[in-house]
Amino acid sequence: MDVRVLEAAVDPVAVFREWLEEAEASEPNDANAAALATAAPDGSPSVRMVLVKQVDARGFCFYTNARSRKGRELAGNPRAALCFHWKSLRRQVRVEGPVVELPGEDADAYFHSRERESQLGSAVSQQSRPLENREALERMVAEFAALHPGEVPRPEWWRGYAVRPERVELWVSGEHRLHDRFLFVREGNGWVKTRLFP
């Protein structure tokens, strides 16, 4: 990307959308994958990969088990950070902000858009808790599938969340590690942009 385009940009989320579209054509898989960092109330951090399923006025949206470690951490400390890295494009986007829960209708719609096997797996998974062995998990899936031959009910704890961007950093790899970094900080309805040292 021509850095002059970044220098002229006023909306980092609009740039993100353009970059994501390019990444969907160049990355081998899951261009919407991002590292999601959360922290416990005592400040202990943890990070894992999630799929960001949409970016809209509410923020960067993803879905997960609210009883998982990340779900529990978000309940106790509703702030998070995301990092997208597209190696093929040599670009990175960092997003930080408060997290809000999406309406149940959104979780229903996305849950039922997934293939049945994924719905079944999500419905029985006690995410982040100890599992005796794989056979136990497969047995749970089979039993739940037999109980629900039709539509799979979305578990109440399977929810959607949105990271509302307050800080967005756009990074482009440069020769000799002279990278281009632009930090956008939310101010009112707009953004204040600062170029950062690499």
| Domain ranges for the chain | 3-109+156-196
Give CA separation, 158 vs 67, 112, 147, in Å. 8, 12, 19
pLDDT at 127 over 90: no
* pLDDT at position 182: 97
* pLDDT at position 1: 58
**In sequence order, what are the residues at sequence separation of 6 or more whose Cβ sits closer than 8 angstroms to the Cβ of residue 103?**
160
pLDDT at 28 over 90: no
- Structure confidence at residue 95 as a pLDDT band (50, 70, 90): very high
Angle, CA of 38, 179 and 14, to the nearest 5°: 60
Tell me the mean pLDDT in the region 18-38.
95
- Structure confidence at residue 149 as a pLDDT band (50, 70, 90): very high
Mean pLDDT of the chain: 94
Give, in words, the CATH class of 3-109+156-196: mainly beta
- Structure confidence at residue 5 as a pLDDT band (50, 70, 90): confident
**In sequence order, what are the residues at sequence separation of 6 or more whose Cβ sits closer than 8 angstroms to the Cβ of residue 185?**
166, 167, 191, 192, 194
Q: Catalytic residue positions?
A: 177
Q: What are phi and psi of 144, to 5 degrees?
A: -70, -40
* pLDDT at position 94: 98
Which tokens hold the place of 86? 């597209």
Tell me the mean pLDDT in the region 160-179.
94
Instruction: Decide: 127 and 70 in contact? Cβ < 8 Å.
Output: no
Instruction: Decide: 171 and 181 in contact? Cβ < 8 Å.
Output: yes
Q: What are the pLDDT digits (tens) for 46-88? A: 999 999 999 999 999 999 999 999 999 999 999 999 999 999 9
Give this prediction's pTM: 0.92
pLDDT at 151 over 90: yes
- Structure confidence at residue 175 as a pLDDT band (50, 70, 90): confident
